[in-house]
Structure 1
Amino acid sequence: MSPTRIKATVLVCHFAGAFGPMGLPPFLGLILAGIAPGAGDRLIGWLYIVPTACLALAAPFWGRLADRWGRKPLLLRAQIGLAISFLLAGLAGSLPVFVIALCLQGLLGGTFSASNAYLSEALPRRELSQALNLTQASARLALILSPVAVGLLIDAHFVPQNVYFVVALLPLAAVAMLLPLPARGAPTSDIVALAAGAAGSRPAPPPLPRGAIMAAQTGFTLAMISTFPFLVPYSMKAFGVGAGTAGWLFGVPHIVYLFACLPLGRHLRDRDPAPWFAAGCLIVAAMLAVQAGTVSLALFTIARLAMGMGMTLGYVALNAMIARTIEDASAGRMFGWFDSGAKLATIAASIGGGVIAAGVGITALFLAAALCGVLTAVTVLRLRGTTTLPRSAAAE
């Protein structure tokens, strides 16, 4: 099977796996109203992060098993685990059973890291960074489309809890699509190390240490995610727009990513990604500061568009940095740790954002997120400054 077909199949299946986890959380209040009336308001925030927290705990374990047992079996396991958790959530007749289903969604899922680990084995190494950009794109496409689709189902008089039965069909369909894929990808001898650069190009700088990349991912996630839960109500109150317009304002950066990730990925293929990542952080920080201070809807919209470019540049460069550190024998474990770190940072961003917004206001939250972006950029540039080319490469 050709690498292109393998990549397309994995991406479609990743979108199918991401559809439920992305689309259902905004409707937790409606779902809980049918399971535990009166308990929803005080539990929504905590239940929102339960699958993420469980995934953060489980991802490194599943990644280690993927390296030992094979990436394809663990990718199939992740899709089957999602289907089981969705079916249990649909059947849950009490709050404890529903909470168990949400825990299983995190503990048994993990399609993002499982898909990336399989792609690292199935694709030539110099194509891995672009593949990581595409798995990010499929997640963002699900983030944009799935809440709309779930809302339409509920508007069509589906019982909110029963939507879990519908979304359970998607990972089951993904399992059927993944079964024909080869158990292993290209042999290791066919993989070209990214750190060596493309043929005929100048030697690429050595990759940053994995701990430094994890820190960069954490800082970027904190800058990006902390304002997410508050963007819609903030824009509705600040500009007097309806929920639909506010939803589009929320989605603008993600739409920019869908269009810009591939061209930027090609541009960065043989370049040092660290300075570009820092540039993405600074653009995001500047646009967060603009959003905090503007009273103009037009300027706010422009800032969201520009923030989308910064977000795209940051994620594309981050994926390039990650791809440079991945080794074939430990790809599952490393993607598991990076996914776990991203999920923990997401939880910290959500909780920290809530504390800042409640304590000193939304404007202060935007500025705090901007400061986090600046500090992340400075840290990465300082770390890159202390990392030098090997002597053999420098001599060339």
Structure 2
Amino acid sequence: MSQIMSAAVPPTGYAERNAGYWRRNLAVCVFGSFTTLVSLSMLLPFLPLYVRQLGVESRAGVIQWSGVAFSATFLGTAVTAPLWGRLADRYGRKPMLVRAAIGMAVVMSLIGVAHSVYELVALRLLAGLIGGYASASTVLIGTQAPRERAGWALGILSTGALAGNLAGPLVGGFLPGLIGIRGTFFAGAGMIAVAALLSIVFVREDFHPGDAKRRGARHVAESARRTNYAVVAALLATAMMVLLANMSIEPIITVYISGLGVAGDHVTRIAGLVMACSALGSMLTAARLGALADRIGSWNVIVGCLVLTGFAMLPQAFVHHWWQLAGLRVVMGMTLAGLLPSIAKLARSAVDENSSGTLLGYLQSAQFSGQVIGPVIGGQIGVMLGLHSVFFVTGSLLIACAGLAGWARTR
């Protein structure tokens, strides 16, 4: 009799089984994403100093190795995010969260005892390969939160990550003076270890490893046939454009600001402030735009944000004072903030529940690919066409991407 009843009543889905956990898990993931990204980004102010300590003496060498070491983490994350997303579908989302936190804490400690710049680059790459706490959080919350609240939840999670990226350089600006550069890495490892402990103790997940097997290969094949790959491709392209647009100005921003009449001894400080402005703007609107996607639809928010961001890029080419650029970067951050939560919300419904972690992993990979490609494209355009052209080209790409998203919406 029990077998008949179990056959008649289908098992509840993953989101339904975890309906009582997602709010607490969201709080832990916001804290963990904040602390891990603070730890990863706080080395920006003193990275050239650390590279010099590791034996690089020439100015050109310090600049080159600093750039390589900083980008290595994002490259590593872009490579392995789809793998971790697939493993999350197979073994559960919480194990991937704990794995990322523990791995990053260990690697951050090892960076503090590096003896050469080659070890620094290798460890930064390893941090990306085995880390990715924020990516694992997106997979967990993106699949646990109810569909009608997913945009808001992912917006809150994005706010925590953005706050970490904003606070990291500020922490890195004063902490080495108190405990030394190597001590700063150990402090960062300690913060990530706290996030790991909280994830182990407080994150809850009701995951059934046998779900995918019970559904069978036939169901998987039917799900694959229902998947609209053109829409998935549009989502991946949009996810890449978010970070590409934000990072395209990074290689030229110091030179651009120096041409706006800023004194030479203030250029670096002003450049750092302008870089942080987009993250500040995104923090102000990420949760609101995520909630808006829940009400009016994710595609509408994506198309609108892409168009507004594209137009916000254009006047940045005509500024005469650094504060005008900073204000426009805040506006750009405010419009960019609605993209990632809306994209992740759509990805959840684009594929079968047991494949959502894999697709979210690919989205994270596309996002970090944009973070790697953006500075390269921006630098090349700046050299070949001039600094102002970076804003025109990036704005045009965003508006073209809005057209792609509009087409995908009709599909």
Q: TM-score, normalised by structure 1?
A: 0.85
1:367 maps to which of 367, 371, 392:
392
2:365 maps to which of 340, 349, 354:
340
CA drift of 1:83 comes to 0.8
The answer to whether the 8 A contact 2:139-2:360 is kept is yes
CA drift of 1:299 comes to 4.1
**Mapping of 1:99-114 within 5 angstroms?**
99-114=121-136
Counterpart residue number, 1:117: 139
For the pair 1:97 / 2:119, whether they are aligned, the reply is yes
Counterpart residue number, 1:11: 30
CA drift of 1:26 comes to 4.2
The answer to whether the 8 A contact 2:308-2:335 is kept is yes
Paired with 2:229 and 2:261, the residues of 1 have a C-alpha distance of 44
Deviations 1:128-161, CA, capped at 9 Å, x for gaps: 22222122211210111111111111233x3323
AA in 2 matched with 1:154: P
The answer to whether the 8 A contact 1:283-1:306 is kept is no
Paired with 1:327 and 1:112, the residues of 2 have a C-alpha distance of 22
Counterpart residue number, 1:27: 46
Counterpart residue number, 1:160: 181
Counterpart residue number, 1:210: 232
**Mapping of 1:132-143 within 5 angstroms?**
132-143=154-165
AA in 1 matched with 2:90: R
CA drift of 1:239 comes to 4.1
CA drift of 1:208 comes to 7.2
SS class of match (2:296): coil
AA in 2 matched with 1:216: T
CA drift of 1:173 comes to 0.6
Q: What fraction of aligned residue pairs are identical, expressed as a percent?
A: 22
The answer to whether the 8 A contact 1:288-1:369 is kept is yes
The answer to whether the 8 A contact 2:30-2:161 is kept is no
Deviations 1:177-203, CA, capped at 9 Å, x for gaps: 11123542499xxxxxxxxxxxxxxxx
SS class of match (1:377): helix
Paired with 1:351 and 1:274, the residues of 2 have a C-alpha distance of 29
Paired with 1:70 and 1:2, the residues of 2 have a C-alpha distance of 14
Rate the CA distance shift 1:137–1:101 in 2: closer, same or farther, 3 A.
same
CA RMSD of aligned residues (A): 2.5
Counterpart residue number, 2:88: 66
AA in 1 matched with 2:317: A
SS class of match (1:247): helix
Any stretches of 5+ residues in structure 1 without a counterpart?
188-205, 388-396
Paired with 1:235 and 1:41, the residues of 2 have a C-alpha distance of 19
Paired with 1:239 and 1:274, the residues of 2 have a C-alpha distance of 41
For the pair 1:174 / 2:174, whether they are aligned, the reply is no
The answer to whether the 8 A contact 1:85-1:101 is kept is yes
CA drift of 1:169 comes to 0.4
1:76 maps to which of 64, 81, 98:
98
Counterpart residue number, 1:312: 337
The answer to whether the 8 A contact 2:310-2:395 is kept is yes
Rate the CA distance shift 1:255–1:95 in 2: closer, same or farther, 3 A.
closer
Paired with 2:126 and 2:246, the residues of 1 have a C-alpha distance of 27
Counterpart residue number, 1:381: 406
Counterpart residue number, 1:130: 152
For the pair 1:147 / 2:169, whether they are aligned, the reply is yes
Counterpart residue number, 2:241: 219
Counterpart residue number, 2:311: 286
CA drift of 1:25 comes to 3.6
The answer to whether the 8 A contact 2:155-2:289 is kept is no
Deviations 1:362-390, CA, capped at 9 Å, x for gaps: 211111111111111122112323x2xxx
Q: Give the total of aligned pairs.
A: 368
Counterpart residue number, 2:5: none
Counterpart residue number, 1:195: none
AA in 2 matched with 1:159: G
**Mapping of 1:193-272 within 5 angstroms?**
209-240=231-262, 242=266, 243-272=268-297
Counterpart residue number, 2:78: 56
CA drift of 1:301 comes to 4.2
CA drift of 1:290 comes to 0.3
SS class of match (2:118): helix
AA in 2 matched with 1:378: G
AA in 2 matched with 1:98: L
2:376 maps to which of 351, 360, 369:
351
Rate the CA distance shift 1:26–1:331 in 2: closer, same or farther, 3 A.
farther
